[in-house]
Structure 1
Amino acid sequence: MLKKNLGEFNRRADHISDATNKFFGQQVPDYIKTLPSIKKDSIRWAANILYFGVGLMFYWAVSAVLRRMPNMEQFPANVAGMIVLYFLLMCARTVLPKQTDNLVKFIDPYSSFALRSMNVMFVPPVVLIVNNPPTAGPEVGRMICVFLVGYFVGFTTCTLIVRFWKMVLYGTCNRHKQAPHLPTSEKVKMHKNKTLEEEEVHIAIPPGPTDLSKFNSTVSAPGVVHQVSNGAISCASTLPGGSIASAPEHEEPDHSTDNNRVVYERYKPRQKHGPLHVFALWCMDQSTFDDLTMFIIFCICAFVFLPLPADSPALPFFRLFLYLTMTLLLYSASCRLPAKVRLVVHPIILTAACVMAGIAYFEQVKGSNIHHGADLYKNGVSFVSLVEKTNVAWPGAGDILSATMDVSIISMAFNVYKCRPDSFREWMIVCFSVAPMAFLVMFVTPLFAHGIGCTPADSIVWSSRSVTTAIGMVIGNILGANQSVVTCIIVFTGIMGPLVGPTLLKLARVKDDDFMTIGITMGSNSHGVGTAYLISKNPKASGLASIAFALFGTIGVIVASIPALSQTVKHLGGY
């Protein structure tokens, strides 16, 4: 009896489900479709947060060890953590090669996310420009001259140096002729560079049709065949070899009405809308789960932050998430602008400018100014100070992004491991190319700046232009340079890589498959930003770029830590 009743219940449930699907047809509510995606995105975010938490703990451990080593307390823990992690991976590979490769593959989605997100972590140093003292116009002109000439000369020189050493060690500049030292088949299978090209399928449709009989034809595109007959649409994918795998046809006659409605909605004449309506449609089309989540948090924090009194103990908490979500949303929107706009205004610059405007507005509401807001945006509270209780306070949004940048730099060890050089000769090319570039930047650039009339304080800041922010701050502190100016120069130097790097490589006739020249040149001249740019464009080159700028920064810290060499840099700068 129980089985009979249960079977009847299941039949009725199936009948109700079929009736519901028949009633809705293809117009199933969007919130029902997005439920599995929301669950998947939530798990992804939880895994990413866990990855960053583990990375911060590793960063803290490396920092604690460095402070107990003689003459190593000033060495940046993030770069040291990257070197240590890469060394551990290589040691593990000698013992358990397959297990190590599987571990790297398992961690790859999270480390790649950290590397792809690195650009937004450079926004806080640019925001702090507002606290810099004003500079005279002639001095700004000389600084721009040093910046442009130094970058173009350094980029071209590095390209020539890499090509020279490739010719000396291999007798050719072509990567394809270097067959003797190619990796084994297993390593090629794991590390070969696969790029996915997005194809846009354009189907020519007559304007403004209303008669469905006009579409009883087959419209073909690369890899896709669309068949429209009697108001019913079917899609078929072309398989390798020319065969066609068609989707199963629907036998229910009631679905034709829904298909007719879909075809009519697709091909009916478009109405003209106002700019505000078009912008709203663009936001809806471009928005993702991440953007929607950040927007909800931003609205809640803004709704609570604005009426809170200035002396409320909850104000720092809501200010933190208000400015953090504002930065992430603005950067996400900046990256979705047309490519032509992003070539003129880089997302980092545009995001920093909009963040400054947002901070100025919110602080003005609270009766303060943008300088006070910038100090609270990045107030110097680090993860290490919180763990060791040396500076316990609410961190700013810039401090959170700086902490994630430390994890991103450590994550480059996985990218270096995947795209590591295949032979000892490649390691020689990296070292012999980076060392002259470090000498050129640290010694020649300050001399050139002083030679054209820059002040000594503005001349020595150029000695750390091609290293990442964390290392540049250390070098600038040792040399006594202005930290804010050093940070701005480092950020703008990194931005130059995505902006003009591809053009300079084309002018130098560097082929797209010459990953050694691309990676070493971008890493030596545009540090972390150039490396992050190559993550999706050329993963193999990004691995060499990680090695190049890490080695470059290591040489810079060593040079600045030796008193005789640091005094030479100051003397060349005019001191």
Structure 2
Amino acid sequence: MFEETLNGLKAAGRPLLVHLWHKYVLVPIGTLLMMLLLYGINEIIKKTTINFPASVCLMLLMYGGLSLNSWLFGEHRTDVFLKLVDIPCGFALRWMNLYFTPPFVTLVLSDKVSVAEAFTIMAVYIVGYIFTFGFMAYFTWGLQLLLGTYKLHVKQDEKDEESQIPESNQQDEVNDNASKQSSTSTTKETPWEDKVRDFVLEWIDFFIYGLLFIAGIPVYFVTGYEMPVQLATAVLLFRACLFIPAKLRRFLHPILISFALCLLVYYILSLIKGQNYFTCIRHYKTGRTYLTLFDSKTYPDWPGAGDFLLSLMDISIVSLSLSMYKYRGDLKRHFASVLPPIILCAFMSFFIYPPVCYRLGISPARSLGFTGRSVTMALGIPLVTALEGSTQLMAVTTIISGILGVLVGDFIVFKMFRVRKHDFVSRGVSFGLNCGAVSTYYLTVEDPPAGAMSALSFTFFGTLMVILSAIDPLVRTAQKLVGW
């Protein structure tokens, strides 16, 4: 057994080195270079009067640059650049859900809301969420019919409904039984050396972040700096939540479970140290990201774990350009069907949501925060900040919209509003305008063409909203609608 274990460790040596080289050398270098580029773009934007996020600007530039390069020099030369860009972008895209946890962690710092206002916010959110799904899906579908870009797949859909839906449960049982049989057979046939090798490769990341957690404990208790131990906790708990079976994970979403466990661990650590819990959470996100790293006057505190994760979220936003480039043909073909819903949704979010919320008894700041309800967080923060609204309400509603899109989005689109399953344009637009980046990531895995449509929709929608918030007369009009 001992000799076989040593052989397994030797067998894991080469793939382990490749894994460490790629994940802990190439990815950090690529991420650092991407952040330097984003920092430069942000400094250029600061010279203007427009408050526009550098991450979305680079995403649009990269998408346009890739499309232009492919048109001029062909796809083969473009693929060489794509392989390099995919090193940091592919990693950031795979872990995008982790980067959405900071707003939930800092939710405990938000102002208190009365019971009546809380129920009003909930009612407005639910009604607006369902309405936006149905209205945008049907509007996009109607435009496709008028423009002649929609192809009916009634017969195919009926076959799918007859064959796949009734047998889904049976098929799941068959797959489960087959997987169990295959797993039992493989465990019997798998040599001990292969088990050791697979174990090392699977758990090496847990081991590394476990060391970071252990090293962060004395740093926290001696110096009071929380970032290493808080970051290791966030990553380890999120990785652990991914072990939840796929069927349960749709309801027990890793974002919700991991952030709740993080709050518990942070509370225990603050009790042991004797630190105020709210102070601990404030240090989790100080606002000193890579964009404000050298601005020590405005942001005197050191970066926290939340700032680190939010910085990586900018890379994941940029990486969405790769999906848009891959399906640029569909985007070009259906652009005329996508643009009108984006403009209409922006008008409704900017001029209808705030006064409706205000008339129903929601405070002016939170009413303005609803303008960013379906805008991805990278764009929603500068949008709501320009309107002087509640960024915390915006962040929470935005991420909840994305999570609900993963949980019940398909049910609302396919079951409630009877959208055809092959209509990836209507599906992508309704998800993009209603659920933002979280559900876009889900669609890029489940339905890549719809994911590209969703990325295009939420990007242009958020961009248009930020442009509207940069026009002072429109900002004053929106504020007057809520009594300011």
Range class of TM-score, shorter chain: 0.7 to 0.9
Aligned to 2:204: 289
Instruction: Give the whole-Å Cα distance in 1 for the aligned partners of 2:292 and 2:365.
Output: 30
Aligned to 2:133: 155
Aligned to 1:563: 472
Instruction: Give the whole-Å Cα distance in 2 for the aligned partners of 1:423 and 1:137.
Output: 44
Aligned to 1:535: 444
Taking structure 1 as the reference length, what is the TM-score of the superposition? 0.73
1:201 positional shift: 6.6
Code of the residue aligned with 1:337 in structure 2: it is I
Q: Does the 8 Å contact 2:368/2:390 carry over to 1?
A: no
1:204 positional shift: 8.7
CA offset digits 1:330-373 (Å, max 9, x no partner) = 11122221345433332212211111111111122222122101
Aligned to 1:6: none
Alpha-carbon distance change, 27 to 473 in structure 1, aligned in 2, over 3 angstroms: closer
Aligned to 2:120: 142
Instruction: Give the whole-Å Cα distance in 2 for the aligned partners of 1:203 and 1:428.
Output: 45
Aligned to 1:345: 252
Instruction: Give the whole-Å Cα distance in 1 for the aligned partners of 2:190 and 2:78.
Output: 55
Aligned to 1:442: 350
**Which of these residues, 36, 46, 55, is aligned with residue 34 of structure 2?**
55
Aligned to 1:94: 71
Which structure has greater helix proportion? 2
1:389 positional shift: 6.4
Aligned to 1:385: 292
Aligned to 2:148: 170
Instruction: Give the whole-Å Cα distance in 1 for the aligned partners of 2:250 and 2:332.
Output: 38
SS of 1:382's equivalent in the other structure is coil
Code of the residue aligned with 1:290 in structure 2: it is D
Q: Does the 8 Å contact 1:476/1:483 carry over to 2?
A: yes
SS of 2:309's equivalent in the other structure is helix
Q: Does the 8 Å contact 1:386/1:392 carry over to 2?
A: no
Aligned to 2:413: 505
1:34 positional shift: 2.2
CA RMSD of aligned residues (A): 3.2
Q: Does the 8 Å contact 1:115/1:535 carry over to 2?
A: no
SS of 1:374's equivalent in the other structure is helix
SS of 2:293's equivalent in the other structure is helix
Instruction: Give the whole-Å Cα distance in 2 for the aligned partners of 1:155 and 1:60.
Output: 36
Code of the residue aligned with 2:57 in structure 1: it is A
Alpha-carbon distance change, 424 to 120 in structure 1, aligned in 2, over 3 angstroms: closer
Aligned to 1:330: 237
**Which of these residues, 44, 47, 52, is aligned with residue 65 of structure 1?**
44
1:449 positional shift: 1.8
Code of the residue aligned with 1:147 in structure 2: it is Y
Aligned positions, number? 456
Aligned to 1:469: 377
Instruction: Give the whole-Å Cα distance in 1 for the aligned partners of 2:477 and 2:73.
Output: 47
Aligned to 2:213: 298
**Which of these residues, 169, 175, 178, is aligned with residue 202 of structure 1?**
178
Task: Give the number of the structure whose alpha-carbon radius of gyration is greater.
Answer: 1
Q: Does the 8 Å contact 2:16/2:201 carry over to 1?
A: no
Q: Does the 8 Å contact 2:364/2:389 carry over to 1?
A: no
Q: Does the 8 Å contact 1:155/1:521 carry over to 2?
A: yes
Q: Does the 8 Å contact 2:141/2:426 carry over to 1?
A: yes
1:392 positional shift: 6.9
**Which of these residues, 43, 62, 76, is aligned with residue 53 of structure 2?**
76
Instruction: Give the whole-Å Cα distance in 2 for the aligned partners of 1:451 and 1:175.
Output: 44
1:456 positional shift: 2.3
Taking structure 2 as the reference length, what is the TM-score of the superposition? 0.85
SS of 1:516's equivalent in the other structure is helix
Alpha-carbon distance change, 424 to 38 in structure 1, aligned in 2, over 3 angstroms: closer
Instruction: Give the whole-Å Cα distance in 2 for the aligned partners of 1:158 and 1:333.
Output: 37
Q: Does the 8 Å contact 2:402/2:437 carry over to 1?
A: yes
1:200 positional shift: 5.9
Alpha-carbon distance change, 204 to 473 in structure 1, aligned in 2, over 3 angstroms: closer
Establish whether residue 321 from structure 1 lines up as the match of residue 228 from structure 2: yes
1:121 positional shift: 0.6
**Long gaps (5+) in structure 1:** 1-19, 178-197, 206-220, 227-232, 236-260, 267-283
1:95 positional shift: 2.2
